[in-house]
Structure 1
Amino acid sequence: MHTPAATDVRQHILDVAHPLMLRKGFTAVGLAEVLAAAKVPKGSFYHYFGSKEAFGEAMLEAYFADNHARTDALLDGPGTAAQRLLAYFRDWLDSQTGDAAQSRCLAVKLGAEVCDLSESMRAALKRGTDGVVERLARCIDAGSADGSVPAAPDARTTAVALYQSWLGASLLAKIARDRTPLDTAMAGTRQLLGLTQHDS
């Protein structure tokens, strides 16, 4: 159990590391760089994290905790389920095309890199992405119930297809340095859910 002060320092290290990982990836960022940016001594790091791998797992867990809270706020907000789903994907599109490095998707940045390096980090990614899919599936189910999502016979399959589409689009947008793949994903999302341009 961490004391409040210890929890603050631990979270500070994770917060400082996040933009470094988004820019350079997990392997390219050394612990010395993280510790220098966080202004904490090396001994402190090992007080909070047993290894760089444990640190990576904690960073992914913290990322998905924030991601899930943001997802919940969007998918549990006002409006029909279709409106909430579109708001979620608009937020995703905006976060991938903005200037702030903090807004970028850590699952896209680290997914392929760390899954072959660390089983614990792969498992953290799996738990996190499963959590997103579950939330999308619940909202799609709600859309079937309220009549706002006419074309989703199997909510989980549809949620998986959408999430895969958006993860792939985010990666392609990075490769192309262009938002077109994300716009294409949005068009595909409307088509898969049976929504027209008039749905907002």
Structure 2
Amino acid sequence: MNDTRQHILATGRALVAQRGYTGVGLSELLREAGVPKGSFYHFFKSKEAFGCALLDSFVEGYAEELSATLGSPDMDARARLMAYFEGWRARQSGEAYEARCLVVKLSAEVAELSPGMRDVLDRGVSAIIARLAAVIREGADDGSLPAHSDPQMLATTLYQIWLGASLMGALSRDTIPYDGAMTATAALLDNKGHA
């Protein structure tokens, strides 16, 4: 039974990553997943509950990926941060829609639409920023970064830069916004005076 739930979520992830949450109808999801409506409602009480479960699943998986990149013992903290953002660039500018970040894809779309989905996204983003801030502090400890007076604010700023770059990249369909974000990231990480 849990396999059916995971199959619905995986199918939904691929569809939502390409067309957005509101762009995917329930009947299309069920048709693509090859499951009857009753199976859907056995696992999710509504499309919004499905959306929350989809985002919870994404955030959980993303946290594991984040740990693998930002916790790599083979790199210093600065290199881990740059690898994380390089991965962001690769995922968001690549052709594989299902590899793209659902937080980026859905933040603006569901913020006013669903308080439950907004809460999942907010918790997910907060966790990412907290992890980035921790690595910034680790960089001061291992000497790969200067000591920043407010690692949390720097992590927030970096996340906002990359979120904006993702939106601009979606509009322009090129990597120029990501190139600018990478340059700004390196400059901010290496600048001792950043808050």
TM-score by length of 1: 0.92
Amino acid at match of 1:181: P
CA contact (8 A) 2:92 2:166 kept: yes
- 1:114 deviates by 0.7
Query: Do structure 1's residue 30 and structure 2's residue 25 form an aligned pair?
Result: yes
Q: What are the residue-to-residue correspondences of 1:100-115 with 2, within 5 Å? A: 100-115=96-111
What is the percentage of aligned positions where both structures have the same residue?
A: 47
- 1:153 deviates by 2.1
Amino acid at match of 1:16: T
CA contact (8 A) 2:44 2:50 kept: yes
Gaps of 5+ in 2: none
For residues 95 and 24 of structure 1, the distance between their equivalents in structure 2, rounded to whole angstroms, comes to 16
Q: Which residue of 2 aligns with 1:127?
A: 123
For residues 29 and 100 of structure 1, the distance between their equivalents in structure 2, rounded to whole angstroms, comes to 18
TM-score by length of 2: 0.95
**Aligned-residue CA RMSD (Å):** 1.1
Q: Which residue of 2 aligns with 1:43?
A: 38
Gaps of 5+ in 1: 1-5, 196-200
Moved runs in structure 1, 4+ residues, more than 6 A? Answer: none
- 1:151 deviates by 5.5
Task: Specify whether residues 27 and 114 from structure 1 end up closer, same or farther in structure 2 by C-alpha distance, changes over 3 A only.
Answer: same
- 1:152 deviates by 2.5
CA contact (8 A) 1:82 1:149 kept: yes
Query: How many pairs align?
Result: 190
SS in 1 for 2:148: coil
Q: Which residue of 1 aligns with 2:161?
A: 165
CA contact (8 A) 1:166 1:182 kept: yes
For residues 75 and 20 of structure 2, the distance between their equivalents in structure 1, rounded to whole angstroms, comes to 38
Query: Do structure 1's residue 189 and structure 2's residue 185 form an aligned pair?
Result: yes
CA contact (8 A) 1:151 1:193 kept: no
For residues 97 and 153 of structure 2, the distance between their equivalents in structure 1, rounded to whole angstroms, comes to 31
For residues 38 and 19 of structure 2, the distance between their equivalents in structure 1, rounded to whole angstroms, comes to 24
Query: Do structure 1's residue 88 and structure 2's residue 84 form an aligned pair?
Result: yes
